[in-house]
Structure 1
């Protein structure tokens, strides 16, 4: 069990050792399917978020790269939440489990944007992408089918979760998708981006800013990857939202409308990525409770049909 050494008691002791401060008895588990996250309270009554990274999912260099991106963004006045530093370190270990501490910042998760928020998000992502373009040694994966989707296909095959009746057609469908879609990505600029920019990773603090959180999955990819999951409908039905977004984004950098053509491929990539993620997570306790339909005949049938439809 990868989380065997992580208990509330060991988590609190590890945090006290890292920050060299006493904690109160407050230790509240927070929702996270991949990592383990707790809200804790220092003796000073300041609240911190302790984030224990899933072992073996990210290398130490990758996590430190995430922290560097966050710190660099914060130093440039972008509304992000960088990890706390203790004794010149942002990354600590509990046995084989890496963890970091973040200041708690409350906020409201958004499920839709108005005009002002679309423009503000455009400005935020424009500035973030300018910064990402300057970081050339992140060690992060390139988000294009030939690299990312090939890796996800290997995960699916290695985990052996695809039913025998669907195995051959699934592999063939994914390989055909990679062959058809990858060349589309050769036409666009690739640089360090958030990579998982959806409403669950954006919090709104009234009187402040829209904050972008959860930089676990930063990748080297096209700018549109940080946009399409925010759209409420198909691209053709979102002309107004895209116009507001581009108005904000173009204050800091140009947005190529041609990249919108990547959205169908990016959607299929995410479906394959999600299946690979579930293949790994399915060994965890309570997985089936959270994803009761995953792995059913209906799921695989619709999944393959969607990939073949590209």
Structure 2
């Protein structure tokens, strides 16, 4: 490919992603992977999963292949090239769109359940929860005056999550892993999934709950539509609905730890200047206390 020197940085913090103009052709997307974040084998496994999905006509954006390879290196930086596929986010709460997304996720999970990942991290309480909390406590990010309150509520929640996951063993399959509205782009031809960076082994409901929005009754109606579409193509274990608030809790703790782990990257203090402020951690404590209350509520139903 011959670039026309038009390069546009796209909104990405974990990696560096650019739209690169190509002479007389549609621009490409170049993703430069964060050093030491993934092994080569893990990245190639992610790429292979997207090809497997594409072969089964699941709408994903798979990397470009050259000489049988999808992962390249320049000046010590690993990168992959992708076709540019734009689109808009789904409309929050649109039941027709959620039914369609449920169908596509059922197809995605039907493929994902065929075999496990060998090189990619699984979603577990140990890594998303306990290791994340250790990162926050060891890094002096939480103001001293708020540290006891945050540590107490987080440890209480993780104890509950350990018990919940132990009491509700569910099948782990290959997932998208970060299936929120920003990673589903809609065009006139329908939706497609992007950004499989966080693809991992985990319960199917992990790819469903982040599509929910609004109050409890709205979320129930949305989940009903998602599952109606999903079960056109794959079975869903209704016991997994007990894990929705647990998975939300893990995401909250893990996200704070992700910011902490990246704080040495100059892009992060510039983009998230509120991270180590008193107000931020007060809000996180309240958020986790609210999770305790939400976990005490009856789960959504299938």
Common fold by TM > 0.5: yes
Task: Report the count of equivalent residues.
Answer: 289
SS state of the match for residue 233, structure 1? coil
Q: 1:31: which partner in 2?
A: 11
1:95 counterpart residue number: 75
RMSD across aligned positions (CA): 2.0
Indicate the residue corresponding to 1:184 in structure 2: 164
Q: Which moved more, 1:64-73 or 1:140-149?
A: 140-149
* Deviation digits for residues 70-115 of structure 1 (CA, Å, limit 9, x no counterpart): 1111111110010001111100112332110001112122342523
Would you say 1:116 and 2:96 are equivalent positions?
yes
Relative to structure 1, the CA distance from residue 235 to residue 263 in structure 2 (aligned partners, 3 Å threshold; closer, same or farther) is farther
CA pair 194-36 structure 1, distance change in 2 beyond 3 A:
same
1:181-236 Cα deviation digits (max 9, x unpaired): 12323422211111111110010110x22101110011211111111111112444
* Greater Cα shift, 175-184 or 212-221: 175-184
The Cα offsets for residues 127-147 of structure 1, whole Å up to 9 and x where unpaired, read as 111111122133222212133
TM superposition shift of 1:298? 1.9
Distance change in 2, residues 1:88/1:44 (3 Å): farther
- Alignment partner of 2:87 out of 107, 119, 136: 107
Structure 2 length-normalised TM: 0.88
The answer for the alignment partner of 1:214 in structure 2 is: 195
State the structure with bigger RCO (CA 8 A, min sep 6), 1 or 2: 2
Which residue matches 1:241? 222
Which residue, 183, 205, 209 being the options, matches 1:201? Answer: 183
Q: CA deviation at 1:252?
A: 0.9
- Residues 186 and 192 in structure 2, CA contact (< 8 A), matched pair in contact too: yes
The match for 1:224 among 201, 205, 230 is 205
CA contact (8 A) 1:152 1:273 kept: yes
Task: Give the Cα separation in 2 of the matches to 1:269 and 1:65.
Answer: 24
What residue number does 2:287 align with?
306
Provide the rounded CA distance (Å) in 2 between the counterparts of 1:194 and 1:305: 29
Q: In structure 1, what is the equivalent of residue 295 of structure 2?
A: none
Kindly indicate whether the alpha-carbon contact (under 8 Å) linking 2:93 and 2:213 is maintained by their aligned counterparts in 1.
no
Alpha-carbon deviations, 1:146-205, whole Å to 9, x = none?
332122123324433223333444344333322211232342221111111111001011
Question: Is the contact made by 2:28 and 2:81 (CA closer than 8 Å) also made in structure 1?
Answer: yes
CA distance in 1, matches of 2:118, 2:21: 32
Q: Is the 8 A contact 2:7 2:21 kept in 1?
A: yes
Q: Which secondary structure does the structure 1 equivalent of 2:249 belong to? A: helix
- Structure 2 counterpart of 1:267: 248
User: What does 1:90-169 align with in structure 2 at a 5 Å threshold?
Assistant: 90-169=70-149
Give the Cα–Cα distance (whole angstroms) in 2 for the partners of residues 225 and 156 of structure 1: 24
